[in-house]
Amino acid sequence: MREEARRPRGDDAVVIPIGTGGRPGRGTGSARPSSAARNLAPSARKASARKASAGKAGARKAGSKPRDAAGPTAAPSGEESAPPPPDETSTDGSAQAPTTGIPVGEWLAAAQDAAQEVFGADWERRVAELMAFVRRRLEGHYEVDDYGFDRELTERFFMTALRPIAEKWFRLEVRGLENIPAEGGALVVSNHSGTVPVDGLMTMLTVHDHAGRSLRPLGADLVFKLPLVSSLARKSGATLACTEDAERMLSGGELVGVWPEGFKGIGKPFSERYKLQRFGRGGFVSAALRTGVPIIPLSVVGAEEIYPLVGNVPSLARLLGVPYIPITPFFPWLGPLGLVPLPSKWILEFGEPIRTDTYEPGEAEDPMLVFNVTDQVRETIQHTLFDLLRERGGVFG
Amino acid sequence: MGRVVLVTGISRDIGRRFARAATDDPSIDRVIGVDAVPPRGDIGDVSFVRADIRTPVIAKVIAKEDVDTVVHMSVIATPGSAGGRGTMKELNVIGSMQLLAACQKSTTVDRLVVKSTTTVYGSGPRDPAMFTEDMGPKRLPSSGYAKDVYEIEGYVRGFARRRPDVDVTMIRAANVVGPHVSSPLTNYFRLPVIPRVLGFDPRLQLLHEDDLMRVLRHAATTGVPGTFNVAGDGVMTLSQAVRRLGTPSVSLPRFAVGRLGATMRQARVSDFSPEQLGFLTYGRGVDTTRMRTVLGFEPQFTTAEAFADFCQSVAPAVREGAGRA
């Protein structure tokens, strides 16, 4: 009853009352005042109530009447003395709005402007979508696939965060997009460089934005051992680089990305930039042969220069169980500032697919064939890298 | 002539409920429940024989009752319920060996169904996303439930080699959840605040208790030999599960969660074994293609549905206290 009685008064007011609307007590204003507040308040309850019911006219009167009626029945004796003179401040406040606060209309206009600034012209729909997204996330009502890939989070969050870096910082140039099949399994094989696997993230973004597909990277054991990295990797679609997972994904029609150089590639010194390292045992080739999917060679130029690796601390790396501890001209000397990658110019070129469906699946067991195809992929990437380097001109051009 | 089914481990809830459900099956004549202690609930038409499967008495029971189907469900997961790890290991491993020895001697048994678990695959950073039946654990389990199950599976395989005329079905069930299940995982989800391992979000694959009942019955009545992963479709991450449950959770570094688990085990709040910690760090997924194609079984609940059903059983007080807003 008390709440109902208070509501009309709030509607009248043009001012946003700060706190409880004048009554002492807990923040809501509808609850019983705390004992501390009751003790503080002068015992002027009866006087103020009488004044309110008798003195005011019009709308104000309609508002206070029910409250007056409710007062004696609902409130225990202790409260009789509690409610205070400040009753009047809120009514008076409405008269002198400019001095006591900012009008509600201005608040609303400001909020609308801000929303328009952030979300654009159709901000209402966008905000509603965002709220729905946040609610879904908080309640856990989203889907992940068998590998733990959270498509919604990846597309709405990770990709959005990476896009400006790709477009503004590295100025990605993409070639050979027509070589990515629109559907069906395929294996993207890329060179690996840059001390930190930023090239993997950029490739994922490129494939998502330009080819409209999700690249599913195969990651090293270490990725799934590290806290935080492991959960982010699974959520963004990665899985362990092992034969079982690679074949399962490829036969499931996914576009799989693999960096066969592994840590030898990203952890190589700056002096060896753009020289491809050994391609492991060619496990990716046998996976492609067994599932009959095409291999798409990808050459990435630019990633080598983002963190020029000039030194390593092997003993510390062994101690921490990581493949290397990078020393660049800026890290660790400049601290966190040294983590900012250099803004090199990137070019990604997807090469012509190498078909594997002409071979029998049984031929995947033939080591000679596997090595030949591996070399073919490796040579393609290496030559494309040299061509791209000649074309690029300056590192930061 | 219907089948005579012997069910071990009937004193536990899931064994008892399976035995009761099996009596309704038209192709099953009699169901005999065996355990060292009497079942706590109603067992309906099941005849209970009090026998310890760790002793050769079990062979006599099989011979006397002309048992032709043995359903072994007596592998326990928690040392707490058995009275210590030593007893648990003895019950699991020695019990299974005696049971297999009895089956080997028997002339009537022609079907053996063993309820195993996907815990045998372990959980680690080097695991494939989905385990198929012919994969083993990446690292052999060194202790606990997983080791027991791994050893039991070895004995069962040995038995299958020695008695090729017996159809041996091994059901590797994923973590079972449901309103009536009390397992390390369900106890974990019933905690008022759920501890999680900082920086890891494991994938969980679950099986509803009703589906476990159905698949065991399916295996006991059809007798398809082989090893089968049985789990609901799809996976969900632990963070997702916690959010759907609406319980607050706290992320702690792995060693702290391990410590907390050990303390909780001592306080008998929850059984938090090392393999449980591994599972809650790295998770596990299993491939269920063979369950469909060879065994011919289709679970009614997906992982998400099984968990939703479990959520409804968790005391509303716990869920309301979560502060969903």
- Determine, yes or no, domain membership for B95: yes
Q: In this model, does residue A57 exceed pLDDT 80?
A: no
Contacts of B278 in chain A (CB under 8 A): none
pLDDT band at residue A14 under the 50/70/90 scheme? low
- Determine, yes or no, domain membership for B312: no
- Determine, yes or no, domain membership for A195: yes
Q: How far does the CA of residue B133 sit from the closest CA of chain A (Å)?
A: 12
- Could you read off the pLDDT of B53-62 as tens digits, one per residue? 889 999 999 9
Contacts of A139 in chain B (CB under 8 A): 243-244, 324
- Across the interface, of A141, A228, A245, the residue whose CB is closest to B199 is A228
State whether A113 and A239 are in the same domain: no
Domain holding A124, by residue range, is 104-139
- Report the pLDDT averaged over residues A386-394: 91
Mutate to test the interface with A, among B243, B252, B277, B281 (most CBs of A within 10 A): B243
State whether A80 and A123 are in the same domain: no
- Report the pLDDT averaged over residues B260-289: 86
- Determine, yes or no, domain membership for B268: no
State whether A177 and A31 are in the same domain: no
- Determine, yes or no, domain membership for A77: yes
Question: A-side interface with B, Cβ within 8 Å?
Answer: 137-148, 150, 221, 224-231, 234-235, 239-240, 242, 244-245, 248
Q: In this model, does residue B155 exceed pLDDT 90?
A: yes
Q: State residue A32's pLDDT score.
A: 64
- Report the pLDDT averaged over residues B29-45: 89
Q: What is the CATH number of the domain that holds A172?
A: 3.40.1130.10
The residues, any chain, with a CB within 8 Å of residue A32's CB and separated by 6 or more, are A25, A26, A79
Q: State residue A249's pLDDT score.
A: 95
Contact between chains at A224 and B201 (C-beta distance less than 8 A): no
State whether A27 and A130 are in the same domain: no
Q: State residue A34's pLDDT score.
A: 65
- Across the interface, of A138, A150, A248, the residue whose CB is closest to B129 is A248
Q: What is the CATH number of the domain that holds B7?
A: 3.40.50.720
Going by their DSSP bridges, the two strands A255-258 and A215-219 should be labelled as: parallel
Q: State residue B314's pLDDT score.
A: 85
Q: In this model, does residue B166 exceed pLDDT 90?
A: yes
- Across the interface, of B200, B234, B244, the residue whose CB is closest to A231 is B200
- Determine, yes or no, domain membership for A221: yes
Q: What is the DSSP letter of A34?
A: P
Q: How far does the CA of residue B188 sit from the closest CA of chain A (Å)?
A: 18
Contact between chains at A227 and B199 (C-beta distance less than 8 A): yes
Q: In this model, does residue A240 exceed pLDDT 90?
A: yes
Contacts of B283 in chain A (CB under 8 A): 148
State whether A172 and A262 are in the same domain: yes
Percent pLDDT > 90 in chain A is 48
For chains A and B, what is the number of CB pairs under 8 angstroms? 85
Biggest alpha carbon–alpha carbon distance for chain B: 64
Q: In this model, does residue A29 exceed pLDDT 80?
A: no
Contact between chains at B235 and A144 (C-beta distance less than 8 A): yes
Query: Distance between CA B203 and CA B271 in Å, rounded?
Result: 20
Question: B-side interface with A, Cβ within 8 Å?
Answer: 125-130, 132, 135, 197-201, 203, 234-237, 239-244, 253-254, 282-283, 285, 287, 324
The residues, any chain, with a CB within 8 Å of residue A295's CB and separated by 6 or more, are A186, A187, A189, A284, A285, A288, A353, A354, A356, A373, A377
State whether A192 and A279 are in the same domain: yes
| Least confident residue range of A83-92, A183-192, A366-375, B184-193 | A83-92
Contacts of A240 in chain B (CB under 8 A): 125-129
Q: Comparing C-alpha atoms, which of B70, B22, B71, B13 is closest to residue B42? A: B13
- Determine, yes or no, domain membership for A313: no
Residue in B with minimal Cα distance to A244? B128
Q: State residue B138's pLDDT score.
A: 83
| Least confident residue range of A36-40, A232-236, B236-240 | A36-40
- Determine, yes or no, domain membership for B187: no
Mutate to test the interface with B, among A154, A216, A224 (most CBs of B within 10 A): A224
Contact between chains at B128 and A228 (C-beta distance less than 8 A): no
State the total domains in chain B.
1
Contacts of B254 in chain A (CB under 8 A): 227
Contact between chains at A221 and B126 (C-beta distance less than 8 A): yes
Contact between chains at B129 and A225 (C-beta distance less than 8 A): no
Average pLDDT value for chain A? 81
Q: Residue B14 corresponds to which amino acid?
A: I
- Report the pLDDT averaged over residues A49-76: 44
Contacts of A245 in chain B (CB under 8 A): 128-130
- Across the interface, of A146, A231, A242, the residue whose CB is closest to B285 is A146
State whether A157 and A200 are in the same domain: yes
Domain holding B152, by residue range, is 3-179+206-231+285-300
- Across the interface, of A145, A146, A230, the residue whose CB is closest to B125 is A230
Q: State residue B272's pLDDT score.
A: 76
Between residues B76 and B82, which one has the greater pLDDT? B76
- Across the interface, of A146, A224, A231, the residue whose CB is closest to B235 is A146
Percent pLDDT > 70 in chain A is 75
State whether A194 and A282 are in the same domain: yes
State the total domains in chain A.
3
State whether A67 and A124 are in the same domain: no
- Determine, yes or no, domain membership for B188: no
Q: State residue B317's pLDDT score.
A: 47
Residue in B with minimal Cα distance to A144? B236
pLDDT band at residue A87 under the 50/70/90 scheme? very low
Average pLDDT value for chain B? 89
Q: What angle do CA B108, B111, B116 make, to 5 degrees?
A: 135
Q: In this model, does residue A74 exceed pLDDT 70?
A: no
**CA A189 vs CA A359, A363, A382: distances in Å:** 19, 20, 12
Contact between chains at B135 and A224 (C-beta distance less than 8 A): no
Contact between chains at A139 and B239 (C-beta distance less than 8 A): no
pLDDT band at residue A214 under the 50/70/90 scheme? very high
pLDDT band at residue A19 under the 50/70/90 scheme? low
State whether A262 and A189 are in the same domain: yes
Q: In this model, does residue B208 exceed pLDDT 50?
A: yes
Q: In this model, does residue A52 exceed pLDDT 50?
A: no
Contact between chains at B132 and A244 (C-beta distance less than 8 A): yes
- Determine, yes or no, domain membership for B142: yes
Q: In this model, does residue A255 exceed pLDDT 90?
A: yes
- Report the pLDDT averaged over residues A247-265: 94
- Could you read off the pLDDT of B101-143 as tens digits, one per residue? 999 999 999 999 999 999 999 999 999 999 999 998 888 887 7
Total count of residues recorded for chain A:
397
Contact between chains at A227 and B200 (C-beta distance less than 8 A): yes
Contacts of B135 in chain A (CB under 8 A): 244
- Determine, yes or no, domain membership for A250: yes
Q: Comparing C-alpha atoms, which of A181, A204, A196, A179 is closest to residue A258? A: A204
Q: How far does the CA of residue A331 sit from the closest CA of chain B (Å)?
A: 25
State whether A352 and A284 are in the same domain: yes
- Write the ipTM: 0.87
Biggest alpha carbon–alpha carbon distance for chain A: 103
Mutate to test the interface with A, among B123, B130, B302 (most CBs of A within 10 A): B130
Percent pLDDT > 90 in chain B is 65
Percent pLDDT > 70 in chain B is 95
- Determine, yes or no, domain membership for A36: yes
Residue B112, Cβ density class (10 Å: 0-12 exposed, 13-18 middle, ≥19 buried): buried
State whether A159 and A288 are in the same domain: yes
Q: In this model, does residue A17 exceed pLDDT 60?
A: no
Alpha helices, H only, B78-183: 79-82, 85-89, 95-105, 144-162
Query: Distance between CA A322 and CA A316 in Å, rounded?
Result: 9
Q: Comparing C-alpha atoms, which of A27, A21, A18, A28 is closest to residue A83? A: A21
Residue in B with minimal Cα distance to A225? B125
